[in-house]
Structure formats: structure tokens, C-alpha cells
Amino acid sequence: MSGQAQVQLSDVVRRYGGPSGLQALGPVNLEIRSGEFFSIVGPSGCGKSTLLDVAAGLVAPTSGSVRFEGKELHGEVPDGIGVVFQEDASMPWLSVRDNVAFGLRTSGLPKKEVADRVDHAISFMGLAQFAGHYPAQLSGGMRQRVCIARTLVLRPRLILLDEPFGALDQQTRLLMGDELLRLWRETGATVLLITHALDEAAMLSDRVGVMSARPGRFIDMIDTKWPGDRDSRIVSDPKFGALTARLWSSLREESLKTMGRVA
């Protein structure tokens, strides 16, 4: 883990519908170190996904700047970033293997290299048995694994995940969390995870940022100081309970604000 900031958001504000439009996010200041596992939690509608879009370069900030590895982003996704979305982004017309290989279509790599990387990613994500299947034949969890494998083949240095396990049941989620940690350790990539599940953030991350209700700003930043070889069994550590409690105490008021707005 080098000390250099890989991702820098400076005074980022994002509005929809022009200069006097709805402010979804900000101002946000954030620095993520290379190789860090950073999670963001916050009430629904606070702009977490917008933050991810800005960090990825999918969306340009209305004001402020975003930097990835020192270079400023202007609404275009740079090389070296992988994104796993909340919705199922597997392509139903391609087999698992072709889905995973999709990211390398434009890479210009020789066929053998592509095949090697694809095979590696597929077996890494435990999908070797299903390489010839189609997404429609797989469960939700497996489809997300396909999407993660597809991101993996590109060897990204930064992996952004937007509530990737939101549609899964709790037990699958815990196991997928372990998979994510394994992935993080073996690739050495930086991980930015957006989640609404406090326990997930608490057990997986090096650092957790808590966002306020819309417009989202960081109201708390917690260092977990977990060991690098952790997995889901860390729930038995007493610190886990304290962490989750602290997250909730920061978050509860913000969530109530959001509930009032919606209801």
C-alpha cells in the first residue's frame, strides 16, 4: 500500500438540471490511497451512486475536480478503472465465457492471451463449470460474479462497486463479501464499495465514509484497522459490533431525514 492518493475528489459538487437545479452531491472532498479498500455508506438518495459515477468518470462534476492517478477526469472513463453495477449488467445474448471476454474485445491482445485471462478470471470467480451457460440459466449471485469476472480480465487498478450484492440474500452476500476480499488481496487493486449494508462496510473495509442525506457530504470517516487477511468470520471480533454501532449512530439521523422526505 503506497501512500500516494490514487483517487482525489476536490470540492466536487454535482447538480442535475442546470446551475439552479437539484443538488445531488457535495461538496465532497475525498482521497483514496492506492490499494485501499474503502466503503461508503449513507441513506438512500444521498448521492452515493452519483459519487461513484463521478469517481469513475462516467459523469463530470458540476464544479470541483476529480483526479485519477494524478490526471483530471472530464466525463470520460480512463483506462484502469473497472465498474460493477447494482443492476445486472450481464449480456443475456452471450455465454458466460463471451461475457467475460467482452472487455478484451477492443484490447488488441492476441487470442491466446485473451483466452488465458478469461479462463483465469472464470475459475477465480468459481464459474468454471458454467463457462458455456447463458446468464438466464444462472442465479443472481452468479450473474454478479460474471460481471466481476468481466471487470477482472481488464486488470483494473481501481474497482468501483455500486451496491453489487443488493439483490442477493444475506448468506450469499456474506460469501460474496469474502470473494471480494480475496479478489482485493490477489489483485492488489484499490476497491471503492458503495453499500447500504452497514455490516458489510464494517467487515470488509480499511476505511468507511459515512454520507449525509442529500446533498451528500461526508459526516464521518472511520479507520477500521483490520488485518489484511480478514474474512467474514471477523463478525465475532468485538470491534465489529462497536464499528457497526458507530456507523449506525452517525447514519440514523440522516436516514430519518430521508424517510421524512419520502414518506
Partner 1 sequence: MSDLSLETEQATIAVRRRFRGFDAIVLTLVMLALWQAIGSWTQGVAISPPLQTLVYLVSLLRTWMFWDHAAATLEAFCLAFMLSALIGLALGLIFGVRRFAGEVAEPILAGFYTIPKVTLYPVVLLLFGLGMSAKVAFGVMHGLVPVTLFTLGAVRNLPPVLVRTARALRLSPGRTMRWVLVPACLPDIVNGLRISFSLSLLGVLIGEMFSSQRGLGFLLVNGMAQNNVPLSTAIVTVIVAIAIAANTLMLRAGRRFARRPEAVAR
Partner 2 sequence: MRWRHAALIVRSAILAFLIVLLELCCRAGFIDSLAVIPPSEMIASMVDQIRSGELNASIATTFSTIFIAFLLAVVLGTAIGALIHRWSRLRDVADPLLASYYSVPTFIFYPLLVALLGLGKAPLVVLGILSAAPAVVISTLSGLDSVAPVLMKLSRVHRLTPAQTLWWIVLPAALPHLFTGFKLALSYALIGVIAGEFILSGTGLGYAISYAYQSFDNRTMYGAMLFVLLVAVTANGILYVWEGRLARRRSRG
Q: How far is the CB of 228 from partner 2 (least distance, A)?
A: 28
Residue 51, CA distances (Å) to 98, 161, 203, 218, 256 in order:
30, 11, 22, 11, 21
**Is 17 an interacting residue with respect to partner 2 (CB under 8 A)?**
no
Tell me how far apart the alpha carbons of residues 162 and 209 are, in angstroms, rounded to a whole number. 14
CA nearest neighbour of 8 among 33, 42, 27: 33
Tell me how far apart the alpha carbons of residues 150 and 136 are, in angstroms, rounded to a whole number. 17
Q: Which stretch binds partner 1 (CB under 8 A): 47-55, 100-108, 120-128, 143-151?
A: 47-55
Could you tell me which residues come within 8 angstroms of residue 254 by beta carbon, excluding any fewer than 6 positions away?
42, 43, 46, 210, 211, 212, 213, 219
CB 30 within 8 A of CB 194: no
Residues between 24 and 43 with contacts to partner 1, criterion CB under 8 A: 24
Given CA atoms 168, 256, 12, 37 in this order, what sign does their dihedral have? Answer: negative
**Is 98 an interacting residue with respect to partner 2 (CB under 8 A)?**
no
72 binds, among partner 1, partner 2, none (CB under 5 to 8 A by kind): none
Q: How far is the CB of 63 from partner 1 (least distance, A)?
A: 18
CB 41 within 8 A of CB 73: no
* Cβ-based nearer residue to partner 2, 76 or 223: 76
Choose, by CB under 8 A, the member of 49, 190, 224, 244 that binds partner 1. Answer: 49
**Is 164 an interacting residue with respect to partner 2 (CB under 8 A)?**
no
Residues between 27 and 46 with contacts to partner 2, criterion CB under 8 A: none
81 binds, among partner 2, partner 1, none (CB under 5 to 8 A by kind): partner 2
168 binds, among partner 2, partner 1, none (CB under 5 to 8 A by kind): none
Q: Which stretch binds partner 2 (CB under 8 A): 129-137, 172-180, 225-233, 250-258?
A: 129-137
Tell me how far apart the alpha carbons of residues 39 and 243 are, in angstroms, rounded to a whole number. 13
Site string for partner 2, 65-84 (x = CB under 8 A): -----------xx-x-xxx-
* Cβ-based nearer residue to partner 2, 133 or 185: 133
**Is 261 an interacting residue with respect to partner 1 (CB under 8 A)?**
yes
**Is 16 an interacting residue with respect to partner 1 (CB under 8 A)?**
yes
Tell me how far apart the alpha carbons of residues 144 and 150 are, in angstroms, rounded to a whole number. 10
Chain residues that interact with partner 2, rule: CB under 8 A:
56, 58, 76-77, 79, 81-83, 85-89, 91-94, 102-103, 105-106, 133-134, 136-137
Chain residues that interact with partner 1, rule: CB under 8 A:
16-17, 21-22, 24, 44-45, 47-49, 214, 261-262
